Amino acid sequence: MINEVKTTRNILKHSFDDLIKYTEVDVVIAGAGPSGMIASKYLADNKVKTLLIEKKLSIGGGIWGGGMMFPYILVQKDRRIYEILKDFGIKYRSEKDGLVISSIETASKLCAGAVNAGAKIFNGIAVEDVMIRKNRICGVVINWAAVEVAGLHVDPLTLSSKFVVDATGHPSEVSNVVVRKVGRLKTPSGKIEGEKSMWLEKSENLVVKNTKEAFPGLYVCGMAANAVFGAPRMGPIFGGMFLSGKKVADKILNKM
C-alpha cells in the first residue's frame, strides 16, 4: 500500500539516480526556450547524452507569451522550418505572410519532442558559472534557482560536459559569466556586443549566422547568439530560433 514515506522515498531515489547519472554528459544546454529545446532533440536523436537545464519551473522561455500574450507566434514558410514542425508534430495554419502556430502547442510539443528523443531536463536549477580547463569550457556550475532568489549563501555543485550551449535568451547568462571570469569571447570586442532594437528582417537571418562557438567549448544559440554577437531582437517570430537550435545541434554533432 502506498503511503507518504514510500512516496518520498521513490521521488528521492529517482531524483538522485538522475542527478548522479547526469554528472558527466556530452552536452549541457542552459535554457529551455525554443532554441534550447530544439537543439536538445536533435542532439539526443543522435544518441548524444544531452542535459537541458532550466532555471524556471516551467520550460518554454518566451514561447508561452506569444505576442504580447496573444497566444500565437509566426514562423516563415521555409523548407527547413516545415521539417522542424513535422519532426515535433506542431500544427500550423498557412497565411500569406507565414505560418501561424499556437504558442501553447509549440511550448508543449517542443518539450515532448526533446524528452521523447532522450534528452534529460532539470528544471528549477540555474547555471551560475562554468568549469574551465586548458582554456576550454568543460562543464557547468549549478545551483537551485531558489537559492539565488532567496539570497542564500549556498555553494553550488558541478557537472562536466564536452560542450556547453548558452541558450539563455536575451540575458545570455553563461556568456556573461565567461566574459566576467574567464576571458575574451570570439566577438569583435571580446565582450558581449549587446542586443539591438527590433528589426526582424535582419535579425532572423543574423540569429542563425551568429549561432556558433563563442569561446572554446561554449556555443551560443537563439537570442543569446544575437546578444553575444550584437544583432537586433525580432519579437514573436520564431523561425530563426528554430533554425538556430537545429544549427547548434548540427555544429556540435560535426565536432563530435
If the CB atoms of residues 35 and 40 are measured against ligand 48F, the closer one turns out to be 35
Among residues 55, 109, 246, 247, the one that binds ligand 48F under rule CB under 6 A:
55
**Site for ligand 48F contains 43 (CB under 6 A):** no
Among residues 44, 223, 228, 231, the one that binds ligand 48F under rule CB under 6 A:
223
Angle between the N-to-C axes of helices 200-209 and 239-255, in degrees from 0 to 180, rounded to the nearest 10: 10
**Site for ligand 48F contains 127 (CB under 6 A):** yes
**Site for ligand 48F contains 209 (CB under 6 A):** no
The region of 149-157, 178-186, 188-196, 222-230 touching ligand 48F under the rule CB under 6 A is: 222-230
- d(C-alpha 207, C-alpha 190), whole Å: 18
If the CB atoms of residues 8 and 58 are measured against ligand 48F, the closer one turns out to be 58
Min. distance of Cβ 191 from ligand 48F in angstroms?
18
For residue 130, report the phi and psi dihedrals to the nearest 5 degrees: -125, 165
Among residues 56, 77, 191, 202, the one that binds ligand 48F under rule CB under 6 A:
56
The region of 3-11, 154-162, 186-194, 233-241 touching ligand 48F under the rule CB under 6 A is: 233-241
The region of 14-22, 48-56, 89-97, 178-186 touching ligand 48F under the rule CB under 6 A is: 48-56
Q: State the residues that interact with ligand 48F by CB under 6 A.
A: 30-36, 53-56, 61-63, 126-127, 167-170, 173, 222-224, 233-235, 237-238, 241
